[in-house]
Chains A and B, each alone.
Chain A
Amino acid sequence: MASAVTPSSTVEARQRYRALTARRLLLLVVLFSCLLLSVAVDMALGPARYSLNEVIAAVLSPSSVNGQLRVIIWELRMPTALMAVTVGACLSLAGAEMQTILANPLASPFTLGISAAAGFGAALGLVAGVAILPAAIEYMVPINAFLMAMTASLFIYGVSTMRGVTVETIVLLGIALVFTFNALLALLQYLATEQALTAVVFWTMGSLTKATWGKVAVTAIILVAVVPFFARNAWALTALRLGDDKAASFGVNVRRLRLQTMMLVSVLAAIPVSFVGTIGFIGLVGPHIARMLVGEDQRFFLPGAAVCGALMLSATSVVSKMLVPGAILPIGIITSLVGVPFFFSLIFTNRKKAW
C-alpha cells in the first residue's frame, strides 16, 4: 500500500521514539531528585531547624554528629519523612492502577470508598471503643481502619468477579460506598463525646505525626511486594487502556489481570490509609500528574505515579511545617490546598491530553 514514506523518515521516527524515551527517563530522574531534596528539607524543618548539611551528615554518618541531632533525625523526623514517601507512593500507585483497570479518571482509594470505610473503622474504635480484632486492642484504631478498608475493597473486588459487571458499575458502587460510610461516620460523630469527636475529626484529616519505623517498614514492604507484579504486567496493563477487546486481541487475559490488580490495589490502598487517616488528593491526582508528564506507557507511568505521589506528600509535609512554624497542620488539608492550584496549572498549561 501507499508509501510515499522515505527510509529517512522511518529512521527519524525511531530516533524520535528514542528521544521521547530519553526525555521521560530524564523527567523521572528529575522527579526522583526533587523527592530526595524534599525529604532532606522535610527532615531539616521542625521546632529545631537544621541545615541540609547537618541533616545529610546525620543520615549518612550518624556517629559523626551530636546525640541530640542524631536522635531527632533518626527517631523523630526520618520516620515521618519516609512515611510521607511510602504512603504517597502507595496511594498514588493504587490510584494509578485503579484508574487503569477501571478505565475511569475518577477512580482512587478515596472515590471508591476505601478511605471512607477506613475512617468509619477508626471512628468505631475512637468513639464506641469497638475493637474489630479484640486481641490487638492496643492498635485498635489502625486495625479497625485497615479491616474496614479491606472489607470495602474486598466487597468491590467480590462484585467485580461477578460476570456481567461492568467497570462503570464498580465505580458507581464505590461512590455509593463513600456515601454509606460517610453517613455511618456522621452518625458516630453525632453520638460521640467531645473528646472522641476531636480525635475522629483529627484522624479523618490525615496526619503523618504518628509515624514509626514499624509503620514505615510495613508500607515499604507492601510496595516492594506489589510493584513487581505491576512491573511484570506493564505491557498488559497499558494495553487495558486501549479497551478490553483490544487488550484481549493482544493476548491479555483481561478478566484475570483486572481481578489480580484489584486485589493488590486493595491492600496497597488500605494499609497506608489505616496508618495516616484520610489523605484523599494523592491517590486521585498523583496518577494524573504522572500521566501528563510521562504518558501512559506503564514502564514510565508506574515509577512516575509512585514518585509523583511520594513527592506531593513529602512537599506537602514541608509546606505544612513552613506555613505555621512550630505547629503541624493536618497533612490531608494541606495536600488539597497546595495540590489543587498546582494541578489546575498543569491542566491549563499542558496542551497534552490529561485523560
Chain B
Amino acid sequence: MVSLRLEALGARYGRTDVFSGISTRPIEGGRLTALIGPNAAGKSTLLKRIAGLLKGEGAVHVSGADVLERSICYMPQDTGGNAVLTVYESVLLAAKQGGSWTVSEDNLVEIDQTLASLGITDLAFRDLGAISGGQRQLVAIAQALVRKPKILLMDEPTSALDLFRQIEVLHYMHELARKTGIAVIIALHDLNHVMRYCDQTIIVAGGRLVTDGPTAEIITADMLRDVYRVKARVETCTQGRPMIVVDGTA
C-alpha cells in the first residue's frame, strides 16, 4: 500500500515564504487524511508542493508508488476554465493526457464508470459552462479519479456542494480509499466532516505545522482556540460520534 511522508517541506512565492519546515508522520494509503487550518495557512500551496507543482526545500518520500508517473494527482480548488467542451470530453481529456489521439472502447468505458460512480452520467453531454458550481466540482472529482492516482490531493473538493452532496462525496472518497488503498489528502474547512470521515489530520497555521496525528486526538477545544480563535467544545452526539459545538469567538 502507498505511503508518503513529508520532510522539512517548504515553498515560497518570490521572496515570501508560504510555509517551511513541515514534517509529518507517514500518511498511509487506504484512508482519508484531512489538511486543515485557518485561511491563508498555506494549505493549497502545501498540496501543490506535495504534488511537485511547486519547487522548494525539503522532500516528499513516497513508498509503494512511482512518483515520476501519474501516481500523484492534485485536484485544484478552482474548477475553472470556460472551454467549449462537454463534461464527457473534459473527463476524457484528463484520462488521455500524454496519450495518443485515438480513443479506445476501454477509454470510454472508464469515463462511463467514473461518471456513473459520481452519479453525474446525466451531465455527460452538457457544456462545462452550462453547469452549476457544485456540478463542476463533481466533474473536477471525476477528472481526478479517472487518472487513477495512488495519491490524491484534493483542495476543498466539497466547497460548492450542498450538504447532501458533501456527505455523499466524502463517504464515497472514504470508501474508495479503503477499497483501493490510495492515499487521499483532503483540504477541508468543515471540521465536523473532518471528524466523521478523516482518520488522520494535519493542522497547519501561519506557514508552520501545528500538529498531525489521529483526528480524534488532535481536534480538541484547545486546538480550536489556539488555531481557529473560537470558543468550542467537542461533544458526543446521540449516535456516539464526536462533534464540535461552537460557542463563539475566543
Contact = CB atoms under 8 A, between A and B. Distances in A.
Nearest to A245: B76
B81 A14 contact: no
A202 B84 CA distance: 38
Given A3-B116, A13-B112, A16-B125, A251 B83 contact: no
Given A2-B168, A245-B78, A291-B84, A10 B113 contact: yes
A251 B140 CA distance: 15
B108 A355 contact: no
A354 B84 CA distance: 7
Contacts of A20: 86, 125
B129 A353 contact: yes
Nearest to B121: A5
Nearest to B130: A353
Which of B74, B81, B113, B122 is the most central at the interface, judged by chain A CB atoms within 10 Å of its CB?
B81
Contacts of B85: 238, 241-242, 295-297
B197 interface: no
Interface in A219-268: 231, 234-236, 238-239, 241-243, 245-246, 248-252
Nearest to B147: A250
A354 B96 CA distance: 25
A17 interface: yes
B130 A295 contact: no
A353 B116 CA distance: 26
B101 A299 contact: yes
B119 A2 contact: yes
Interface string B42-74: 000000000101000000000000000010011
Interface in B75-114: 75-86, 88-90, 92-94, 96-99, 101, 103, 105, 108-109, 111-113
A324 interface: no
A165 interface: no
Contact of B99 (A5, A235, A242, A352): A235
Contacts of A252: 97
B76 A246 contact: yes
Contact of B80 (A18, A246, A291, A353): A246
Contacts of A245: 53, 76-78, 80
Nearest to B100: A235
Nearest to A17: B88
Contacts of B101: 231, 234, 299
Given A1-B117, A13-B115, A14-B108, A250 B97 contact: yes
A66 interface: no
Given A235-B96, A295-B89, A242 B53 contact: no
Interface string B113-151: 101111101101101111000000000100110010000
Given A1-B172, A241-B81, A241-B85, A249 B115 contact: no
Nearest to B69: A251
Given A235-B98, A250-B147, A296 B113 contact: no
Contacts of B90: 242
18 contacts: A1-B118, A1-B168, A3-B117, A13-B111, A13-B112, A17-B88, A17-B111, A20-B86, A235-B99, A239-B93, A241-B82, A241-B85, A246-B143, A250-B93, A250-B147, A252-B97, A296-B83, A352-B84
Given A14-B108, A251-B97, A353-B84, 17 more contacts: A1-B119, A13-B115, A14-B112, A20-B86, A235-B97, A236-B98, A238-B83, A238-B93, A239-B97, A242-B83, A242-B93, A243-B81, A249-B51, A249-B74, A252-B97, A352-B84, A352-B127
Interface of A: 1-5, 9-11, 13-14, 16-18, 20-21, 164, 231, 234-236, 238-239, 241-243, 245-246, 248-252, 291-292, 295-297, 299, 352-355
